[in-house]
């Protein structure tokens, strides 16, 4: 069937824009801040964008100005940065498309495929950590890609070569100096140059001498190679300048970021080489091939989840859109599946994947997909896209089969990114739940307090992230140099406290400020998955009531001082553009309020809160969350209520120890019915 719709090259940017929205923008209003987004946003908001320059002096000194520029232009809100992330993604794709066309102007279909694969590359799931990764990697990558393209333009120009080469060198500086992520990518430029020079050499001598001798072929190849090396030499000098700078800076004692583990162990050169080979093969497999199969694999594991079906629906809609678009698209040159171009793209892509893995490998960091560690694939975007474009072009020579497979591949990438977006949506919802539960439980907090836990049980946050959020909540007028509050995951940062006992002073550097605390001024909390925030209180809690086996948490419990919580203060006014609007009361609202009332020993209020929760049809999310209500009922002598709550608690056998610990403590203050202990299975 002949389609009447006619699309041309000028419609391709619109296709990029639409795919950007489908892959990354459908949940725009439901994603927020993650990981280091929080400390960066907090610093920009409370200390000013210029302090971000100071923050990076000992980490990546050329990265600070990028942060300063973007934070000067954008407000510190999740929506602003998630929107900006869409813009950057679109610009990156346009830049990649333009660059590929400068290198291979005679292969418009293949360069379009490579650009589409670059846009939706599913091996990178960290798009929504926008504040951090836009500045740290994506903007430098944008400069680097444009540098590649400008090199191609300069080589194909008859005039303005010096101007374009100079601009390309400037873009290289902007791409490689701010971050070490792209330190090893420069040989890709040589391969691009070699491709262009070889093509120009063939065009200059279309009627080459037939039956050339091996020596003549070698001489011709060396001529092309030397010309490519001469063209690459200025970039090689800048690359060497950057490598020298990094070497001197790493050895200066000023640098304080990733350690280079390569060479620190007594491994033999053979073992190091083997480790490089195995990690290279791992990168080729994971980043080059396996990443494109993530959606079917993850969908099979979470088949019954509504978000999985939504991702599959987005993939199906995208496939139909792409199949129709490619069939209606008419480019300057007709489709031609060139196996020469395919082999070239495969070779460059494979080499590029290995080059992109070297920096993280040298730092001893793993490459794990669908985790925070897949951020290292950002240096493999171009290479992974070229490798896949080459493989498809090599395997599918017929136009319609090629377009069908391209539509399916890109649809898989879009579906995978939407699947990842839902992970970040759920993470943001869990974050917001924690912040509002903190507000309900802790209206105000004594400055200088450290909030301790064993580990932060949220996927894309650390104690470092939560510290910024907590200070934003409880110190909204902060403008000093001494941080009022700190969140510390003790199991995740061993050795950060001088001792797990009261009376020990400590300092924690939180660039560009510091926290000065004492283990005697601490509040211990847990936020278990599927449960509510709990502030641990040695007056009410024991090891039996923790709800999990944690040696660290057991050691932290005696340090917790809920008296640092100002229960009579009014609730802080959280800015909704940062933390979202206050949600309607949930079970955790009533539980945290009950915990607060127990701290005040207001048993009547706890009983009233239970009744209100029941009227709303709300139930405990964790059996241990019945303990404040059980205690209030027992102290008021409502044994019928105690029996009902005990049955809820004992639905989970592991909660029996906690219930028995409660009865043991209360038996020292009030008289408990003997049958209550018997029914609970507790020893008198």
Banded pLDDT at 664 (limits 50, 70, 90): confident
Banded pLDDT at 380 (limits 50, 70, 90): very high
Please determine, for residue 1, whether its predicted confidence score (pLDDT) is greater than 80: no
Q: What are phi and psi of 469, to 5 degrees?
A: -65, -45
Instruction: Evaluate whether 478 touches 46 at the Cβ level (below 8 Å).
Output: yes
* pLDDT of res. 30: 96
Task: Report the alpha-carbon distance of residue 631 to residue 624 in Å, rounded.
Answer: 12
**What is the crossing angle of helices 627-635 and 603-615, to 10°?**
120
Instruction: Evaluate whether 548 touches 528 at the Cβ level (below 8 Å).
Output: yes
E strand or H helix at 77: none
3-state secondary structure of 514: strand
Measured CA distances, 640 to 614, 619, 652, 656 (Å): 15, 18, 20, 19
* pLDDT of res. 655: 82
Task: Report the alpha-carbon distance of residue 684 to residue 678 in Å, rounded.
Answer: 8
The burial of 211, by beta-carbon neighbours within 10 Å (0-12 exposed, 13-18 middle, 19 or more buried), is given as: exposed
Residues 6+ apart with CB under 8 A from 65: 53
CATH for 585-684 (1.25.40, 1.10.3470, 1.20.1050, 1.20.1740): 1.25.40
Closest CA to 440 of 563, 595, 546: 595
| Mean pLDDT of the chain, nearest integer | 90
Tabulate helix, strand, coil % of the chain (nearest 5): 65, 5, 30
- Structure tokens that stand for 598 in this block: 């127990």
* pLDDT of res. 250: 74
Closest CA to 488 of 511, 475, 506: 506
Of 138-147, 197-206, 429-438, least confident by mean pLDDT is: 197-206
* pLDDT of res. 682: 77
Of 85-89, 448-452, 510-514, least confident by mean pLDDT is: 510-514
Task: Report the alpha-carbon distance of residue 167 to residue 309 in Å, rounded.
Answer: 47
- pLDDT tens for 324-333 read 999 999 998 8
506 strand-pairing partners: 517
Sign of CA dihedral 232, 237, 242, 243: positive
Banded pLDDT at 494 (limits 50, 70, 90): confident
- pLDDT tens for 141-164 read 999 999 999 999 999 988 888 999
Residues 6+ apart with CB under 8 A from 309: none
Secondary structure letter of residue 571 according to DSSP: P
- pLDDT tens for 514-540 read 999 999 999 999 999 989 999 999 999
Task: Report the alpha-carbon distance of residue 202 to residue 242 in Å, rounded.
Answer: 35
Task: Report the alpha-carbon distance of residue 309 to residue 315 in Å, rounded.
Answer: 10
First to last CA, the chain: 84
Average pLDDT over residues 21-35: 96
3-state secondary structure of 102: helix
Residues 6+ apart with CB under 8 A from 608: none
Banded pLDDT at 202 (limits 50, 70, 90): confident
Domain boundaries, the chain: 9-202+217-424, 442-583, 585-684
- The better pLDDT of the pair 636, 141 is held by 141
- pLDDT tens for 577-616 read 999 999 999 999 999 999 999 999 999 999 999 999 999 9
Task: Report the alpha-carbon distance of residue 497 to residue 519 in Å, rounded.
Answer: 8
Task: Report the alpha-carbon distance of residue 374 to residue 366 in Å, rounded.
Answer: 9
The burial of 389, by beta-carbon neighbours within 10 Å (0-12 exposed, 13-18 middle, 19 or more buried), is given as: buried
If one counts every other C-beta atom within 10 angstroms of the C-beta of residue 459, the result is 15
Task: Report the alpha-carbon distance of residue 376 to residue 324 in Å, rounded.
Answer: 34
| C-alpha torsion angle, residues 288, 87, 143, 40 (rounded to 10) | -90
Q: What percent of the chain has pLDDT over 90?
A: 67
Residues 6+ apart with CB under 8 A from 654: 547
Please determine, for residue 390, whether its predicted confidence score (pLDDT) is greater than 60: yes
**Has this prediction a pTM greater than 0.75?**
yes
Of 141-145, 294-298, 673-677, least confident by mean pLDDT is: 673-677
Please determine, for residue 207, whether its predicted confidence score (pLDDT) is greater than 50: no
- pLDDT tens for 321-356 read 999 999 999 998 888 888 899 999 999 999 999 999
- Structure tokens that stand for 573 in this block: 């006014």
3-state secondary structure of 313: helix
* pLDDT of res. 15: 96
- pLDDT tens for 105-151 read 999 999 999 999 999 999 999 999 999 999 999 999 999 999 999 99
The runs of H, that is alpha helices, within 512-636 are 551-556, 576-579, 587-599, 603-615, 627-635
* pLDDT of res. 210: 56
- Structure tokens that stand for 545 in this block: 């009531």
Planar angle of CA 486, 487, 491, nearest 5 degrees: 135
Task: Report the alpha-carbon distance of residue 629 to residue 638 in Å, rounded.
Answer: 11
Instruction: Evaluate whether 31 touches 77 at the Cβ level (below 8 Å).
Output: no
- pLDDT tens for 391-424 read 999 999 899 999 999 999 999 999 999 999 999 9
Of 230-234, 424-428, 549-553, 629-633, least confident by mean pLDDT is: 549-553
The runs of H, that is alpha helices, within 503-584 are 551-556, 576-579
E strand or H helix at 451: strand 450-453
Task: Report the alpha-carbon distance of residue 224 to residue 342 in Å, rounded.
Answer: 20
- The better pLDDT of the pair 205, 332 is held by 332
* pLDDT of res. 253: 64
Please determine, for residue 7, whether its predicted confidence score (pLDDT) is greater than 80: yes
Instruction: Evaluate whether 228 touches 190 at the Cβ level (below 8 Å).
Output: yes
508 strand-pairing partners: 515
If one counts every other C-beta atom within 10 angstroms of the C-beta of residue 249, the result is 14
Banded pLDDT at 3 (limits 50, 70, 90): low
* pLDDT of res. 254: 61
Instruction: Evaluate whether 352 touches 390 at the Cβ level (below 8 Å).
Output: no
Planar angle of CA 372, 374, 377, nearest 5 degrees: 145
Planar angle of CA 57, 60, 62, nearest 5 degrees: 85
Task: Report the alpha-carbon distance of residue 240 to residue 615 in Å, rounded.
Answer: 71
Task: Report the alpha-carbon distance of residue 541 to residue 683 in Å, rounded.
Answer: 19
Pick from 265-269, 362-366, 419-423 the range whose average pLDDT is largest.
Answer: 419-423
- Structure tokens that stand for 401 in this block: 């089969």
- What are the strands, taking DSSP E only, across 467-553? 486-489, 505-510, 513-518, 522-526, 534-535
Task: Report the alpha-carbon distance of residue 626 to residue 610 in Å, rounded.
Answer: 9
Task: Report the alpha-carbon distance of residue 295 to residue 414 in Å, rounded.
Answer: 9
Task: Report the alpha-carbon distance of residue 107 to residue 101 in Å, rounded.
Answer: 8
* pLDDT of res. 4: 67
Banded pLDDT at 263 (limits 50, 70, 90): very low
């Amino acid at each position: 069937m002949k389609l009447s719709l006619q699309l041309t090259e000028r419609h391709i940017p619109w296709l990029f824009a639409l795919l950007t929205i489908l892959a990354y923008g459908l949940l725009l209003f439901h994603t927020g801040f993650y990981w280091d987004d929080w400390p960066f946003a907090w610093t920009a908001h409370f200390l000013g964008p210029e302090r971000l320059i100071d923050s990076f002096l000992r980490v990546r000194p050329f990265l600070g100005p990028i942060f300063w520029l973007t934070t000067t232009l954008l407000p510190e809100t999740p929506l602003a940065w998630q929107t900006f992330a869409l813009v950057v993604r679109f610009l990156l794709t346009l830049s990649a498309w333009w660059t590929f066309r400068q290198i291979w102007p005679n292969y418009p279909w293949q360069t379009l495929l490579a650009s589409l694969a670059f846009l939706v590359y599913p091996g990178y799931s960290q798009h929504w950590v926008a504040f951090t990764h836009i500045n740290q990697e994506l903007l430098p990558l944008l400069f680097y890609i444009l540098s590649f393209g400008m090199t191609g333009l300069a080589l194909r120009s008859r005039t303005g070569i010096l101007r374009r080469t100079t601009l390309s060198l400037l873009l290289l500086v902007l791409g490689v100096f701010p971050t070490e992520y792209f330190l090893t990518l420069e040989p890709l430029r040589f391969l691009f140059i070699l491709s262009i020079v070889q093509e120009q050499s063939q065009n200059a001598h279309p009627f080459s001498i037939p039956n050339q001798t091996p020596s003549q072929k070698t001489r011709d190849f060396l001529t092309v190679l030397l010309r490519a090396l001469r063209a690459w030499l200025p970039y090689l000098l800048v690359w060497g300048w950057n490598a020298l700078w990094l070497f001197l800076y790493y050895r200066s004692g000023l640098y304080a970021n990733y350690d280079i583990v390569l060479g620190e162990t007594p491994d033999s050169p053979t073992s190091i080489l083997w480790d490089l080979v195995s990690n290279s093969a791992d990168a080729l497999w994971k980043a080059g091939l396996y990443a494109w199969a993530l959606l079917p694999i993850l969908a099979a594991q979470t088949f019954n989840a509504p978000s999985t079906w939504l991702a599959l629906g987005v993939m199906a809609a995208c496939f139909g859109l792409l199949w129709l678009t490619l069939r209606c698209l008419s480019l300057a040159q007709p489709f031609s599946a060139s196996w020469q171009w395919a082999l070239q793209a495969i070779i460059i892509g494979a080499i590029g994947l290995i080059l992109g893995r070297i920096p993280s490998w040298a730092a001893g960091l793993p490459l794990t997909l669908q985790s925070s560690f897949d951020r290292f694939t950002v240096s493999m975007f171009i290479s992974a896209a070229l490798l896949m474009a080459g493989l498809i072009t090599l395997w599918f020579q017929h136009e319609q089969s090629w377009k069908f497979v391209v539509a399916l591949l890109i649809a898989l990438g879009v579906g995978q990114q939407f699947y990842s977006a839902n992970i970040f949506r759920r993470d943001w919802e869990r974050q917001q739940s924690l912040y509002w539960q903190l507000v309900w439980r802790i209206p105000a907090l004594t400055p200088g307090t450290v909030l301790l836990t064993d580990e932060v049980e949220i996927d894309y946050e650390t104690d470092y992230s939560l510290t910024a959020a907590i200070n934003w909540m409880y110190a909204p007028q902060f403008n000093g140099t001494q941080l009022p509050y700190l969140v510390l995951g003790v199991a995740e940062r061993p050795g950060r406290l001088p001792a797990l006992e009261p009376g020990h002073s400590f300092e924690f550097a939180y660039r560009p400020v510091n926290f000065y605390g004492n283990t005697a001024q601490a509040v211990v909390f847990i936020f278990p998955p599927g449960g509510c925030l709990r502030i641990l209180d040695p007056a009410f809690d024991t090891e039996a009531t923790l709800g999990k086996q944690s040696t660290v948490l057991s050691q932290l419990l005696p340090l917790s001082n809920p008296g640092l919580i100002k229960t009579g203060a009014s609730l802080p006014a959280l800015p909704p553009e940062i933390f979202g609007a206050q949600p309607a009361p949930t079970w955790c609202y009533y539980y945290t309020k009950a915990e607060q009332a127990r701290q005040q020993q207001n048993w009547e209020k706890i009983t009233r809160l239970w009744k209100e929760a029941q009227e709303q049809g709300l139930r405990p999310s964790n059996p241990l969350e019945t303990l404040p209500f059980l205690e209030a009922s027992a102290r008021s002598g409502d044994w019928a209520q105690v029996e009902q709550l005990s049955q809820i608690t004992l639905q989970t056998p592991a909660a029996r120890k906690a219930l028995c610990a409660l009865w043991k403590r209360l038996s020292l203050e009030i008289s408990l019915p003997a049958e209550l202990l018997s029914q609970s299975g507790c020893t008198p």
